């Protein structure tokens, strides 16, 4: 009976020495990146600059029970940029650190679903398009001093509908009706309703 308990314990421990660093409220973010051209027994992560290979190995073991045999790390520098939209001083953004871990058991990413409707893909695309347009116009205003006019924007479906409805009100095809009780002084203004 003692042999089976020792055997079970040995199976649950990894084949490396665990670290002693205790992290109770972690403030770091580790991103598991999908790389389709990698073999299934390699996993690629974006980690904080302060992370070490031992930290990633212990992290994967303690949180997910995943055993690793090797961990590789690389720090990618970014290009020199200018502050304040291209007019300020030169600076280099902080680098990004990547780690690749070799897993003992392979991990295969699930297939991307063909129908993305349950995740509101159309709404996401519309928000992306709107955000890209807003950032593009703001960048043009900031960098070139070019203030765009909304009248030169392409006419959207909502604007077209609003214009047609307003034209019907002006032509008298539709009448404005409301259930709100107005004050008497507003009934005589502008020839709306006269006593």
Q: In this predicted model, what pLDDT tens digit does every residue of 61-84 receive, in sequence order?
A: 888 889 999 999 999 999 998 887
Write out the H or E segment, with its range, that includes residue 10: helix 2-12
Q: Which residues pair with 102 in a beta bridge?
A: 42, 70
Any idea which fold 8-103 has?
Alpha-Beta Plaits (3.30.70)
pTM: 0.58
Q: Which residues pair with 101 in a beta bridge?
A: 43, 71
Percent of the chain clearing pLDDT 90 (strictly above): 41
The 10s digit of each residue's pLDDT in 165-183 is 999 999 999 888 878 777 7
Cβ pair 101, 70 in contact under 8 A: yes
Instruction: Give me the torsion for CA of 158, 160, 163, 168, rounded to 10°.
Output: -100
Average pLDDT, the chain: 83
* Rounded Cα gap, residues 53 and 34, in angstroms: 19
Mean pLDDT of 148-159: 79
Q: Which residues pair with 45 in a beta bridge?
A: 32, 99
Q: Which residues pair with 33 in a beta bridge?
A: 44
The 10s digit of each residue's pLDDT in 96-125 is 999 999 999 999 888 988 998 899 999 999
Q: Can you give the residue ranges of every domain in the chain?
A: 8-103
């Amino acid at each position: 009976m003692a042999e089976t308990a020792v055997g079970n314990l040995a199976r649950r421990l990894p084949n490396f020495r665990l670290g002693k660093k205790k992290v109770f409220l972690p403030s770091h973010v580790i991103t598991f990146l999908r790389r389709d051209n990698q073999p299934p027994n390699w996993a690629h992560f974006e980690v904080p600059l302060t992370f070490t290979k031992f930290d990633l190995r212990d992290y994967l073991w303690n949180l997910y029970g995943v055993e690793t045999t090797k961990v590789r790390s690389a720090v990618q520098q970014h290009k020199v940029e200018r502050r304040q939209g291209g007019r300020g001083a030169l600076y280099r953004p902080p680098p990004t650190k990547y780690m690749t871990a070799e897993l003992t058991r392979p991990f295969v990413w699930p297939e991307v679903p063909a129908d993305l409707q349950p995740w509101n893909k159309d709404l996401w695309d519309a928000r992306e398009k709107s955000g890209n347009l807003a950032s593009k116009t703001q960048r043009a205003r900031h960098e070139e001093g070019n203030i765009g006019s909304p009248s030169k924007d392409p006419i959207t479906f909502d604007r077209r509908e609003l214009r047609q409805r307003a034209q019907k009100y002006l032509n008298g095809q539709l009448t404005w009706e409301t259930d709100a009780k107005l004050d008497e002084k507003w009934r005589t203004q502008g020839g709306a309703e006269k006593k």
